[in-house]
Amino acid sequence: MGVRDDAEAIAPEMVELRRAIHREPEIGLDLPGTQRKVLAALDGLPLEISLGTALSSVTAVLRGDGAALGGDAGGPVVLLRGDMDALPVTERTGLDYASQTAGVMHACGHDLHTAMLAGAARLLAARRRELPGTVVFMFQPGEEGHAGARYMISEGVLDAAGQRPVAAYALHVASAEWPAGVFSTRPGPMLAAAEVLAVTVHGHGGHGSEPHHAADPIPAACEMVTALQTLVTRRFDVFDPVVITVGSFHAGTTDNVIPDDAAFLATVRSFSPEARQRVRESALALVGGIAAAHGLTVSAEFRDGYPVTVNDEAETRFAASVVAGLLGEERCLAQANPMTGAEDFSFVLEQVPGAFLMLGACPPGADPATAPNNHAGDAVFDDSVLATGAALYTELALQRLAFS
Ligand SMILES: [Zn+2]
Ligand SMILES: [Zn+2]
């Protein structure tokens, strides 16, 4: 039987695992229940398993017997990644396996990634005899803003097999935009760099009727918000775009009191290392200049950054060819533009060439153009893609190791 048939044969257990994880979602770097479920799913497979210390990650290494034929001890290494964390979202799907934890939901489909990766571990373990190398399965907590991938890298996931992977792959499901079972990817920038710009304008509080005796931070902070938009449109190439959105702005307590401080937070997205560097420098210079022009001071910094997710040209071509071979040409779309979302798989791709692919998981009967998006409380991801995703992970590893 081929990989697709084998993946279909284990679909019921993947569905069961996915739904169990969906029912009990966990947020951030510490996902003990999810980790337990993953370990139970991998139990009995010929894997070297290590657990994270700073986070509840699972790293599993599968060494193929086929590697001995190549001469290179252990053969080449391929890394497959699935993230495991949920979001602080209240689920409104009404599904019978909906979240049982108030205010927490697998609204980004990471429960599917976890189940698909566990399925791929089973499928590849069954092919261990002919596997011409080693596969590292990276079960990662804390993708949603916690930089879990960076922690796993610092704890050695890229060296888990004893040598660096030649390639790394990750899949991400989408509840909208693409029909179920259709992949989409592109070489080069795939997802944006994202970081938080945190600004606090320091003035001096006073009576609202006598602003000349105070140093009012609010007008200056407002000027910064609009000037940041002008910065985007006047200083950056429209074909190497930048997005700045001020999503939080706080100052003052009442109408007639000038506050000491005004603070705002912005998300800053960019698609090239050059634009990322330049927006950091120019945004800090801008807010500093505006504060100084009004005789105020400002504290401003960039934090919690994810770099641009850059797909390797050759690995992306290879991954698209694997999709075409497995499912047909029409199942892998050449994506025109990068997405403005961000991914901490970018930290892996900074060190290992690889590819990140989107996988449509829009439920049957729903229109991908209008279905609720990832992160929505009513986003639904269809279980039918679990076998597809597990089969692709498996084929990527098998074929990439055979090429090396
Ligand atoms: Zn997400
Ligand atoms: Zn996600």
Per-position DSSP letters for 225-257, written without gaps between them: HHHHHHHHHHHS-TTS-EEEEEEEEEE-SSTTE
Q: Which residues of the chain have pLDDT under 50?
A: 70-71
Q: What is the pTM of this model?
A: 0.91
Residues near ion ligand 1 (Cβ under 5 Å)? 108
Ligand 2 mean position, distance from CA 154 (Å):
21
Across-strand partners of 242? Answer: 270
pLDDT value for 357: 98
CA separation for the pair 137, 80 (Å, rounded): 5
Q: How far, in Å, is the centroid of ligand 1 from the Cα of 105?
A: 11
Exposure string for 190-209, b = 16+ CB within 10 A, e = fewer: bbbbbbbbbbbbbbebbeee
Residue pair 401/127 in contact by the 8 Å Cβ criterion: no
- Cα 150 from Cα 286, distance rounded (Å): 30
Q: How far is the CA of 89 from the centre of ligand 2 (A)?
A: 13
Nearest bound ligand to CA 109?
2
What is the distance in A from the centroid of ligand 2 to the CA of 394?
Answer: 21
Strand ranges in 71-207 using DSSP code E only, listed in sequence order: 77-83, 134-140, 167-174, 183-185, 188-191, 193-202, 206-207
Ligand closest to 113 (CA) is 2
Distance 376 CA to ligand 2 centre (A): 12
Taking a C-beta distance cutoff of 8 angstroms, is the pair 74, 172 a contact? no
Residues 6+ apart with CB under 8 A from 43: none
Residues 6+ apart with CB under 8 A from 96: none
Instruction: Give distance in angstroms: CA of 147 to centre of ligand 2.
Output: 12
Three-state DSSP state, 201? strand
Whether the Cβ atoms of residue 292 and residue 369 lie closer than 8 Å to each other: no
For β-strands 332-334 and 183-185, DSSP reports them as parallel
Q: What is the pLDDT of residue 73?
A: 60
Distance CA 234, CA 137 (A): 44
Nearest ligand to the CA atom of 171: 2
User: What is the pLDDT at residue 66?
Assistant: 76
Polymer length in residues for the chain:
404
- The H-assigned helical ranges of 10-108 are 11-23, 32-42, 67-70
Q: What is the pLDDT of residue 179?
A: 96
